[in-house]
Amino acid sequence: HLTEGALPELGTAQVGSERRSVRARVASDEERERLWPKAVAAYSDYETYQRRSKGRKIPMVILERA
């Protein structure tokens, strides 16, 4: 299970050819409600993963520019 304390404070992500410094955080309930359907639309196996979790909410990680 992912806890916010387990996330790196600062890291690097690559978007296309651009590398960016980012901070990671767990999405709020409101963000997750808005973003989860988009994640499932991009990768339908997330829906299967959610069903197999037996009701546990799968955390989503947000990367923000540092």
Residue-level pLDDT at 51:
92
Position 1 pLDDT exceeds 60: no
- Specify the DSSP element, H or E, that contains 24: strand 18-26
pLDDT in tens, 2-48: 555 667 778 899 999 999 999 988 899 999 999 999 999 999 999 99
pLDDT at position 3, please? Answer: 58
Residue 7: its pLDDT value, please?
73
Q: What is the pLDDT of residue 4?
A: 55
Mean pLDDT of 51-60: 90
Half-sphere exposure of 10 (CA within 13 A, CB side): 3
